[in-house]
Amino acid sequence: MPGQTNRSKRKKALLIYFTKFKGQKRSAPLVRPAPLDILITLSGSFLAFAILSILSLVYLTPVLATPLGATAVLVFGAPDAPLSQPRNVILGHALSAIIGVATYQILGTHWWTVTLGTSSAILVMLLTKTTHPPGGATAMFAILNAAKPIYIVTPIIAGSLLLILMGLLVNNLSPNRNYPRYWY
């Protein structure tokens, strides 16, 4: 019977779908970095945020935004990851900030503009191969906080550039690290 065939195909597809929820065994366990690399991670993030905080206070210009905290985790804690590389950090944040600010400026802050702006930022990062997970937060932050166009330059681009600069200076102090792995 044709109905039985379709029903069994749907059942099988559903079973396959839910089986994916189990995940797979991790091929290699997460390893704790060497003590020197932990110290470098701590020092790099501390110095970067100290400089950003001082700049914010001295120049009365915001150079700090919460998405940059997540970027620091990637740049200093996972410097080998593709999503931690300078191109992804700078362009992922910049494109997301542009999308977030434009969404807010044109459409305001509503549940659906937060959804639209954040999802659009993810789409653009995927299409431009500049995926940087904190970029989603950059777009969302812009919409929720009624960001003006200056948000794109400072804190986002300025903060991203400073984190990359500190990543270059500090990560390469370790014999175990080579940051960046690539620029483009």
pLDDT reported for residue 63: 82
Q: Which residues of the chain have pLDDT under 50?
A: none
- The pLDDT of residue 26: 73
pLDDT at 29: 72
What pLDDT was estimated at residue 28?
Answer: 73
Residue 161 has a pLDDT of: 97
Q: How far is CA 180 from the centre of its chain?
A: 16
- Paired tokens of 7: 């029903």
Per-residue pLDDT at 103? 98
Specify the pLDDT at position 87: 98
Q: What is the pLDDT of residues 82-127, one digit of tens each?
A: 999 999 999 999 999 999 999 999 999 999 999 999 999 999 999 9
Residue 47: C-alpha distances to residues 91, 94, 125, 149, 158 (Å): 23, 23, 28, 27, 15
User: Which pLDDT score is estimated for 182?
Assistant: 93
**pLDDT for residue 3:** 57
d(C-alpha 4, C-alpha 10), whole Å: 10
Closest CA to 137 of 69, 52, 53: 69
